């Protein structure tokens, strides 16, 4: 009864568009219970019909392959039919990029976007918005997961009756694949994202977690991680307008409900996304990202309507604030051109930076019917509104001074392909060369004991920096200048200490394995001769033993110490392959 009354109340109070003609109703709208989400075939067919009926306003294209086989699609809505990104930028018309179904068991955005696209071309009042904003929609991102339809994998979720699966055809979570791009889906997305370079990116989701009164919660790009002009615009202009707009549409909204205590009133904390996630990836290119998260326990009908209204609110706000948005992004790009130090990792500030008037439910404990032990529950008969502290500011925990350029050996093809796919401008050496450069050696790091998204993640990299007088480069090796629009992506993927660097994801693991070694009984005599001929080596070993009692008591460890400090130790072991060119000398690059 609670959910039935909530559904009725939401549908009565939420503003809805004019009813569509029967032929244009979506599967969601055709279900009186509002508990049906479109299948992949139904979704694509709907956009095909829309593009055929309104060719001057809607275009539909295949945008690349997915792991399952069927393609990713791109839907473009533009008032004058203009679909060329360069011409749109010349018209100072911002791009809003909406992506749905990254987790197809969270399908509200799939159905809401179908309805919104139709209404934008059929209702004159809404069509006017397209004169100021170009809307790009990926109807379904995780096509693989949407085809894997079931009714049980979202155990905590209140509808729809059937839905897709979170993992793709290779069981990857695509919302962890934005940097490493292991999947065809992610590679196709990257090319699409770089094509449009949107001002605002929205990826639709459904939450898990606590119970509370809101139907819609919101993750926004962490403002502290953006350039000052763009972060200030997000905090002081765009976000307040979105919250006001949702209030006016009868969907009060709160920041995503993430907290460290047992219940939300312990204090909310911002989702500190790294570039593996959509909003973190978008921030690398000075795009403001949003992940609207509807509440899993609300009925599917209100969740779809709230998502529709959020997307419409974003569209209305971007259209209204276009000059300020474009100016803030231009300011961010200008600031990056003068930037020398780049943050690599972040942490939330300990002290709250804001207070949120949170609408929750009182919580308590009672015996579990399963175990008999105390269990948490929320009492929906006891709603409250009270101030809750909100930690919504972050600070860098690691940073690097950017070189003039990164030098990348041509052998590392996966890294080079990722850089190119993500808009990095690369040059190639026209002949062999030897130049002064800075190189890293990986002194230590930590690795997870279990795989995460197909990799064993590395963290806490400790580096030793050396500057050889001349680093040998080959014709065909790559030069990646930092002075380019993709600078943040370049630095955060190639500096090993960054949270989602290519090193962290294991792209360079082969350099961490020693390829040559020695037999102890043979090397004993050679090591003795090395120590006899090289007093500095002997002094180094003595100092190391004095500093480390374990080493002093371990004969084989001392032998290995001599080996690692001798010319016989392979120079490439633990040497990070990407070098940092600091601008000295000339590079024969084109």
| DSSP state letter for 509 | G
Q: What is the pLDDT of residue 208?
A: 86
Radius of gyration of the CA atoms of the chain, in A: 27
Q: Long-range contacts of range 315-319, CB-CB < 8 Å, 24 or more positions apart?
A: 315/96, 315/116, 315/129, 315/133, 315/135, 316/129, 316/245, 317/238, 317/241, 317/242, 317/245, 318/94, 318/96, 318/132, 318/133, 318/199, 318/200, 319/129, 319/132, 319/133
Q: Which two tokens stand for residue 102?
A: 């990254």
Domains of the chain with CATH codes: 2-333 (3.40.630.10), 399-509+576-581 (no CATH), 520-564 (no CATH)
Region label for 91, one of left (φ > 0), alpha (ψ between -120 and 50) or beta (otherwise): alpha
The number of beta carbons lying within 10 Å of the beta carbon of residue 561 is 19
Considering all CA atoms of the chain, what is the largest pairwise distance in Å, rounded to the nearest integer? 93
Q: How far, in Å, are 209, 292, 451, 502, 520 from residue 358 at the CA level?
A: 15, 17, 37, 39, 67
Which residue reads 């360079």 in tokens? 508
Which residue reads 């819609």 in tokens? 216
Region label for 69, one of left (φ > 0), alpha (ψ between -120 and 50) or beta (otherwise): left
How many degrees, rounded to 5, is the angle at CA 371 between CA 370 and CA 373?
125
pTM, full prediction: 0.93
- Give strand pairing partners of 444: 462
Q: What is the pLDDT of residue 248?
A: 98
Question: Distance from CA of residue 329 to its chain's centroid?
Answer: 19
Per-residue pLDDT of the chain (590 residues; tens, 9 = 90+): 334 444 444 444 444 556 899 899 999 999 999 999 999 999 999 999 999 999 999 999 999 999 999 999 999 999 988 889 999 888 999 999 999 999 999 999 999 999 999 999 999 999 999 999 999 999 999 999 999 999 999 999 999 999 999 999 999 999 999 999 999 999 999 999 999 999 999 999 999 899 999 999 999 999 999 999 999 999 999 999 999 999 999 999 999 999 999 999 999 999 999 999 999 999 999 999 999 999 999 999 999 999 999 999 999 999 999 999 999 999 999 999 999 999 999 999 999 999 999 999 999 999 999 999 999 999 999 999 999 999 999 999 999 999 999 999 999 999 999 999 999 999 999 999 999 999 999 999 999 999 999 999 999 999 999 999 899 999 999 999 999 999 999 999 999 999 999 999 999 999 999 999 999 999 999 999 999 999 999 999 999 999 999 999 999 999 999 998 999 998 889 999 999 999 988 899 88
Q: What is the DSSP code string of 344-368?
A: EEEEE-SS--EEEEEEEEEEEEEE-
Asked if residues 298 and 450 have their Cβ atoms less than 8 Å apart, the reply is no
Q: What is the pLDDT of residue 590?
A: 80
Q: Long-range contacts of range 159-165, CB-CB < 8 Å, 24 or more positions apart?
A: 159/35, 159/299, 159/300, 160/35, 160/36, 160/37, 160/107, 160/300, 161/35, 161/36, 162/36, 162/37, 163/37, 163/104, 163/105, 163/106, 163/107, 164/101, 164/103, 164/104, 164/105, 164/107, 165/104, 165/105
Helix axes 300-320, 2-13, angle to 10 degrees: 30
Residue 342 CB contacts under 8 Å (≥ 6 apart), including other chains:
399, 400, 401, 402, 487, 488, 491, 492, 495
Asked if residues 561 and 419 have their Cβ atoms less than 8 Å apart, the reply is no
Q: What is the pLDDT of residue 584?
A: 85
| Per-residue b or e along 377-393, where b marks 16 or more CB atoms closer than 10 Å to that residue's CB | ebeeeeeeeeebbbbbb
Residue range 315-363, pLDDT digits in tens: 999 999 999 999 999 999 999 999 999 999 999 999 999 999 999 999 9
By the 10 Å C-beta count (0-12 exposed, 13-18 middle, 19+ buried), 362 is classed as: middle
Three-state SS annotation for 475-491: CCCEEEECCCCCHHHHH
The upper half-sphere exposure of residue 505, i.e. CA atoms within 13 Å in the direction of its Cβ, equals 25
Spatial distance between the Cα atoms of 275 and 175, rounded to a whole number of angstroms: 10
Residue range 5-31, pLDDT digits in tens: 444 444 444 445 568 998 999 999 999
Q: What is the DSSP code string of 161-191?
A: SSB--SS-TT---GGG-TTT--SHHHHHHHH
**Dihedrals φ, ψ of 131, to 5°?**
-70, -20
Q: What is the pLDDT of residue 18?
A: 65
Spatial distance between the Cα atoms of 79 and 101, rounded to a whole number of angstroms: 26
Q: How far, in Å, are 66, 107, 114, 559 from residue 40 at the CA level?
A: 13, 11, 12, 63
Separate counts of helices (H) and strands (E) for the chain: 19, 22
Q: Which two tokens stand for residue 106?
A: 């969270």
Residue 556 CB contacts under 8 Å (≥ 6 apart), including other chains:
520
Residue in 255, 254, 282 with CA at minimum distance from that of residue 96? 282
By the 10 Å C-beta count (0-12 exposed, 13-18 middle, 19+ buried), 316 is classed as: middle
Q: What is the pLDDT of residue 589?
A: 87
H or E, element range at 2: helix 2-13
Q: Which two tokens stand for residue 504?
A: 């962290």
């Amino acid at each position: 009864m609670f959910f039935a009354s909530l559904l009725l109340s939401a549908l009565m109070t939420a503003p809805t568009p004019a009813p569509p003609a029967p032929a244009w109703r979506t599967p969601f709208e055709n279900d009186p219970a509002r508990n049906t989400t479109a299948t992949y075939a139904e979704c694509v067919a709907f956009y095909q019909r829309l593009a055929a009926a309104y060719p001057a306003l809607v275009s539909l294209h295949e945008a690349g392959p997915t792991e399952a086989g069927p393609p990713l699609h791109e839907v473009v809505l533009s008032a004058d039919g203009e679909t060329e990104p360069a011409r749109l930028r010349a018209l100072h018309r911002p791009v809003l990029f909406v992506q749905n179904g990254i987790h197809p068991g969270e399908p509200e955005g799939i159905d809401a976007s179908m309805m919104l696209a139709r209404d934008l071309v059929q209702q004159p009042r809404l069509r006017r918005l397209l004169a100021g904003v170009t809307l790009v929609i990926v109807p379904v991102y995780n096509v693989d997961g949407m085809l894997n339809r079931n009714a049980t994998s979202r155990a905590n979720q209140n509808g729809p009756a059937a839905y897709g699966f979170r993992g793709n055809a290779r069981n990857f979570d695509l919302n962890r694949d934005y940097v490493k791009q292991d999947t065809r889906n992610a590679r196709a997305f990257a090319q699409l994202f770089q094509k449009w370079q949107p001002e605002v990116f929205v990826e639709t989701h459904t939450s898990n977690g606590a119970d509370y009164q809101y139907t819609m919660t919101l993750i926004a790009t962490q403002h502290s991680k953006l350039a000052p002009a763009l972060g200030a615009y997000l905090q002081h202009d765009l976000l307040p307008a979105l919250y006001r707009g949702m209030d006016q549409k009868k969907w009060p909204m709160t920041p995503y409900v993430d907290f460290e205590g047992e219940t939300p009133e312990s204090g909310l904390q911002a989702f500190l996304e790294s570039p593996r996630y959509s909003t973190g990836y978008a921030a690398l290119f000075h795009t403001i990202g949003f992940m609207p998260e509807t509440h899993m326990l609300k009925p599917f009908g209100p969740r779809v309507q709230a998502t529709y209204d959020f997307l419409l609110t974003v569209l209305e706000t971007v259209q209204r604030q276009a000059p300020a948005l474009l100016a803030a992004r231009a300011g961010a790009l200008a600031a990056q051109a003068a930037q020398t130090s780049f943050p690599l990792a972040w942490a939330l500030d300990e002290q709250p930076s804001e207070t949120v008037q949170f609408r929750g439910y009182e919580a308590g404990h009672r015996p579990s019917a399963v175990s008999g032990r105390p269990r948490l529950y929320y009492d929906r008969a006891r709603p409250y509104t009270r101030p809750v502290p909100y930690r919504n500011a972050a600070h860098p925990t690691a940073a690097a001074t950017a070189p003039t350029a990164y030098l990348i050996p041509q052998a590392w093809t996966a890294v080079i392909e990722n850089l190119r796919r993500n808009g990095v401008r690369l040059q190639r050496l026209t002949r062999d060369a030897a130049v002064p450069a800075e190189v890293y050696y990986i002194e230590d790091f930590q690795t997870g004991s279990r795989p995460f998204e197909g990799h064993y993640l590395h963290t806490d990299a400790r580096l030793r920096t050396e500057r050889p007088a001349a680093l040998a480069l080959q014709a065909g090796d790559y030069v990646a200048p930092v002075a380019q629009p993709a600078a943040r992506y370049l630095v955060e993927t190639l500096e090993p200490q960054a949270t989602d660097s290519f090193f962290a994801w294991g792209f360079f693991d082969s350099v961490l394995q020693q390829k040559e070694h020695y037999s102890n009984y043979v090397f004993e005599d050679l090591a003795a001769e090395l120590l006899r001929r090289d007093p500095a080596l002997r002094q180094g070993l003595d100092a190391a033993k004095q500093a480390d009692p374990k080493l002093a008591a371990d004969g084989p460890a001392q032998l290995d110490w001599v080996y690692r400090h001798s010319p016989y130790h392979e120079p490439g072991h633990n040497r990070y392959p990407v070098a940092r060119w600091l601008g000295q000398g000339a590079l024969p690059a084109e």
